[in-house]
Amino acid sequence: MTKPHREQLEVFDNSYPSRDYEIQIRCPEFTSVCPKTGQPDFGELIFTYVPDKKCVELKSLKLYLQAYRNEGIFYENVTNKILDDFVAAAEPKTATLVSNWGPRGGISSIITAKYVKST
């Protein structure tokens, strides 16, 4: 299985670039590995973005996310890294990524990172 890299994310032309509309994508089946314990982590990722000239192709997003299956990476870092890759590929006007993780030791975490294109 390949490692995740942002070139996996494919885009297509936004047919309505003159209107600012919002796309939300829910991915409840994300899994990666805790780099400290080697144990798998499970979470839901929720992308919300306003496209500029490009939209993210969903099947390529699925394959990109699957590539984290055996990657060791912390919650905070995987959230920020995926947002960075998403922004690099889609160049959206705004984008938010929420990652919601299953409980560990009685404690569960939600990370929310946002991007706004500088104008």
CA dist 77 and 96 (Å) reads: 15
Which residues are designated catalytic?
Answer: 34, 41
Neighbours of 71 (CB within 10 A): 15
Q: How far is the CB of 85 from a second copy (least distance, A)?
A: 13
77, 109 contact by CB (below 8 A): no
Nearer to a second copy by C-beta: 9 or 61? Answer: 61
* Chain positions contacting a second copy, by CB under 8 A: 1, 14-16, 19-29, 31, 39-40, 42, 51, 55, 58-59, 61-62, 66, 69-70, 76-77, 79-80, 102-115
> Which is nearer to a second copy, 5 or 112 (by Cβ)?
112
Q: Quote the least distance from Cβ 89 to a second copy, whole Å.
A: 16
The helix (run of H) or strand (run of E) holding residue 77 is helix 75-90
Contact of 62 with 8, CB cutoff 8 Å? no
